[in-house]
Amino acid sequence: MGDFLYKDLTYELLGVLFDVHNELGGGFLEVVYSDAIEYELKMRNIPYEREKKFQVHYKDTILPHHFNADFVVFGKIILELKSASHLHESHMAQCLNYLKISKLRLAILANFEGDKLIHHRIIL
């Protein structure tokens, strides 16, 4: 079995996600979970950036479209949140885009779906 990329950081971040889900449950809009996660990150002194903007460079220009990741945590992990009945391939593709443009290696896609928290590790 190989190395687990950012094992301790991932464990700490998943603790935040599960605490938020245990407290709020499902049924809220994504922004409510974002606010709660931001609260938890602050309380635990975990470094993060919310709504991190990534520009797309192409040859000698910056393209007009940009990406906003929900969070970049520890300066290493993209955290993308959803509150949907189920995850789509487009959600995974969105995380891959964020990883490519940011040059980071790990994204966590978390879906606060009803009575359970679904999360995926996406590695580039």
pLDDT digit string, tens, across residues 14-41: 999 999 999 999 889 999 999 999 999 9
Q: Look up residue 15 and give its two tokens.
A: 């603790």
The model's pTM is 0.93
pLDDT at residue 1, rounded to an integer: 47
- Domain 7-123 in CATH 3.90.320.10? The answer is yes
Yes or no: say if 118 and 16 are a contact pair by the CB < 8 Å rule.
Answer: no
Residue the block writes with tokens 């603790």: 15
Strand pairing of 61-73 and 48-58? Answer: antiparallel
User: What is the full per-residue pLDDT of the chain (124 aa) written as tens digits?
Assistant: 457 899 999 999 999 999 999 999 988 999 999 999 999 999 999 999 999 999 998 999 999 998 999 999 999 999 999 999 888 999 999 999 999 999 999 999 999 987 889 999 999 8
